[in-house]
Structure 1
Amino acid sequence: MATVAFLFLALLGVFGPALSDKHSLYYIYTSLSKNVQLPGIYDFTAMGLLDDREIDYYNSKDQMKIPKQDWMREKMQSDYWDKGTQSRKSKEQWFKVNVDILMQRMRHNHSDLHVLQWRHGCEIDDTNGKITFLSGIDEYSYDGSEFLSFDDENMRWVAPVPAAEPTKRKWDDVAILNQYTKGYLEKECVDWLTKFMEYGQESLRNQSSPEVHVLAKKSSSSPGKLTLTCLATGFYPKDVKLCVRKFRTSLPEHLLTSSGIRPNEDGTYQLRKSVDVEEEDTAGYDCYVNHASLKEPVIKQWDGTCRDSSGSMGLIIGAAVGGLVLLVAVVGLLVFLKKRGIIGEF
């Protein structure tokens, strides 16, 4: 009976699901077709991100790969940075060549600004100390649109636009390239990720608990209804469980509008979910949040009141949007390029 009771409570959302311990390592390269002459924006930049925290950085002005975390500076030897600098310089030249190739293929002129980017990396699960490979990403984008991506499972390139077909055919004809790409994503990237996790374990352990808010205002799209919003903000790491509940039962996700997990300016994250409810239906709603930093889930009950929440909500959301805009300005829409420059031109 105890087991049945536990399962019943779990279905009602009384207990939150166990949160997995996910970690990621990504590298993002960005190349502009011309100098925009804006402070902090360079012709070419490259950065490494461990669990969404910047660990190294390179730009075309300084032309030096540098650590962005104290533990990276302390743990990685000087030859790591020397070799990394040479690698970044090689990629910078590779990008310049291929930006021109794609501009010609797209029939774009040099008077307009065009952007070529590449993101590659991997994600693992480290639950209970067991490392499990979850996914690998190797993606390119041109001017903010997906251009080419690697299908790790089937070991082939995917071209979502006709302009990428020549590159897909060219790269798929080089079997060793696809074998190398799959090997990097599933083995070499995971090795680096676990090594960096070990080196930066104290920093990565610094968890931040979410602040939970529940607010309601008049619906802008449905007369006679209220928009009820649950917001969790200020949490790290970014893996979080947020449910909007009615009488302790989670509402189906397809009824909710979600912001997705967004970065705050201080390196933490926020997530917002909303649902429209009838004005007279104000009883029994709450926000349920579970996070690795919490000893037990946070449950914030809605008191049924409706107020103009645009001011307070705007301040909370603004911090995340500011960080997101900065990320997009520097990284674009995660428009991505290929690893190590071992491949030929597009």
Structure 2
Amino acid sequence: MMGSPAVILLFLCAVSAPVLGEKHSLYYIYMSLSKNVDLPGIYDFTAMGLLDDREIDYYNSKDQMKIPKQDWMREKMQSDYWDKGTQSRKSKEQWFKVNVDILMQRMRHNQTDLHVLQWRHGCEIDDTNGEIKYLSGIDEYAYDGSEFLSFDDENMRWVAPVPAAEPTKRKWDDVAILNQYTKGYLEKECVDWLSKFMEYGQESLRKHSPPDVHVFAKKSQTSSNRLTLTCLATGFYPKDVVVRVRKYRTTLPEHLLTSLGVRPNGDGTYQLRKSVDVQEEDTEKYDCYVTHRTLKEPFIKEWDGSCMDCTTGIIMGFAGGIVVAGLLVFMVILVFIFRKMFSKRSDAGSNAEGKGPVSYIKVSTGNGEQDKKTNGSKVQG
């Protein structure tokens, strides 16, 4: 016997409603510069751990100490963890210094220009109903912002997108233990550390923040008679958010919008902005439509039709706040300066291969990261 329409509708909603899983990630990012740039906060070598894009540890070539960046990391991790981590990163710093020189020679780059060597490795999991599921692993290298080498986890081999990386790829693929360890680290060891960190930092990581939503317009940089209308959602955590630009309550298609995607603010929260060009005399109704797990219902912010810099001088107040926020975001993103260069993933520390045989083996030292150990006195793998 068929039920009532209301009962059937409720049943269909219950069946079709998606089970929202929690995605979590653990990444380690390293960046080495070929020379000192003499800028505050910028060092020859930096390294950090990121749990759900929140910084959990940090190291730089000036202080040469791996330090906690979260209270729970300081409380939960024993002193030997930081000692091992410090030694590991000192070793990586030297390894990067040698290899950035090797790559500059290979690329025929001179010593006067600034060059950057990067590496990122880590994993992402799904934690639905307490069940941990491995989603993906990343081990990527880059030089001057261009992808140099990456690990194909499924096929357990290295991928060289540029000819200069081919010698390294061949040598690394010839070392079976290297590829076996890399795959094992991504799928097992990294997941174990990620799960452990999630357990230790669960109280802090569960603190959710709602988005602060702004909508504003400025003169378009590409057309004198058009405005760039921007929807900005900022200060939210976790980073999963939906931002739509609407006209008369109808969502504009994404291909008409410009956006750099979700970006960190530097305080553990995120921001996302989406922009569209409109006619300067446009009087139609535009708004920002934002949904986030901290909101009981979608938040809608209407554009009042004003323009921030259409009169003499720039309107201060909120505009000034945007500039300051932009500078803060820039300082955070500087560490990931070449992140957007990767087509599918963000930045990575590049590794070079020299003239000699492979002398590069990754080993675990109990600090959550992949480590490097050389059989010879000089890294050339």
TM-score norm. by structure 1 comes to 0.85
Which of the residues 331, 350, 371 maps onto 1:340? 371
Q: Where does 1:62-211 land on structure 2 (aligned, <5 Å)?
A: 62-211=63-212
The answer for unaligned runs of 5 or more in structure 1 is: 10-15
What is the distance in 2 between the residues matched to 1:277 and 1:200? 45
| Post-superposition CA distance 1:137-188 (Å, at most 9, x none) | 2111112222111122332222222111111111122222222212211221
Contact 1:34 1:113 in 2 (8 A): yes
> Match of 1:345, as an amino acid?
Q
What's the counterpart of residue 12 of structure 1?
Answer: none
Q: 5+ unaligned residues in a row in structure 2: which ranges?
A: 339-346, 352-369
Change (3 A) 1:33 1:223: closer
2:43 is aligned to 42
Give the alignment's Cα RMSD to 1 decimal: 3.1
- Structure 1 residues 131 and 28, CA gap change in structure 2 (3 angstroms): same
Question: How far apart, in 2, do the equivalents of 1:73 and 1:341 lie?
Answer: 25
Q: Structure 1 residues 318-327 or 164-173, which shifts more?
A: 318-327
In 2: Cα distance, 1:123 partner to 1:297 partner: 28
Cα-to-partner distance string for 1:60-87 (whole Å, 9 max, x where unaligned)? 2332222111111110111211221221
Name the CA shift for 1:18/1:209 in 2 (closer, same or farther; >3 Å).
farther
SS at match of 2:106: helix
Contact 1:265 1:319 in 2 (8 A): no
**Cα 1:44–1:251, aligned 2, differ >3 Å: closer, same or farther?**
same
The question of whether the paired residues in 1 share the 8 Å contact of 2:231 and 2:245 is answered with yes
Query: What residue is the counterpart of 1:308 in the other structure?
Result: 308
How far the C-alpha of 1:240 sits from its partner, in A, is 1.0
Tell me by how many angstroms 1:32 deviates.
Answer: 2.4
Give the match's secondary structure for 1:168.
Answer: helix
SS in 2 for 1:230: strand
TM-score, L = length of structure 2:
0.78
Deviates more, 1:221-230 or 1:184-193: 221-230
Check whether the contact 2:148–2:350 (CA below 8 A) recurs between aligned residues. Answer: no
Cα distance, 1:331 vs structure 2 = 4.5
Are residues 33 and 269 of structure 1, via their aligned partners in 2, closer, same or farther at CA, if it must alter by over 3 Å?
same
Q: 1:299 offset after TM fit, Å?
A: 1.9
Q: Which moved more, 1:311-320 or 1:118-127?
A: 311-320
SS of match in other structure, 1:258 = coil
Q: Does residue 60 of structure 1 match 2:65?
A: no
Separation in 2 of the partners of 1:81 and 1:280?
Answer: 58
CA distance 1:3–1:94, change in 2 (3 Å): farther
SS at match of 1:341: strand
What is the one-letter code of the residue matched to 2:328?
G
Report how many residues are paired: 338
CA distance in 2, matches of 1:175, 1:2: 60
> Does structure 2 conserve the Cα–Cα contact (< 8 Å) formed by 1:30 and 1:118?
yes
User: Which is further off, 256-265 or 70-79?
Assistant: 256-265
Whether the 8 Å contact between 1:263 and 1:320 is mirrored in structure 2 is: no
Instruction: Output the CA distance in 2 between the equivalents of 1:177 and 1:40.
Output: 34
**Alignment match, 2:231:** 230
Distance between the aligned counterparts of 1:315 and 1:302, measured in 2?
A: 19
Question: Residues 248 and 284 of structure 2 are in contact (CA less than 8 Å); yes or no, is this contact kept in structure 1?
Answer: no
Change (3 A) 1:162 1:3: farther
Give the share of equivalent positions with the same residue, in percent.
74
CA shift, 1:260, in A, is 1.6
Given that residues 138 and 337 in structure 1 are in contact (C-alpha distance below 8 angstroms), is that contact kept between their aligned partners in structure 2? no
Q: CA deviation at 1:57?
A: 1.5
Letter in 1 for 2:371: R
Matched, 1:242 2:247: no
Distance in 2, Cα, partners of 1:218 & 1:280:
13
Distance 1:221 1:329, change over 3 A: closer
Amino acid at match of 2:200: Y
1:324 and 2:355 correspond: no
Partner amino acid, structure 2, of 1:42: Y
Q: Relative to structure 1, is the Cα distance of residues 127 and 228 closer, same or farther in structure 2, using a 3 angstrom cutoff? A: farther
Query: For the residues of structure 2 that align with 1:308 and 1:322, how far apart are their CA atoms?
Result: 18
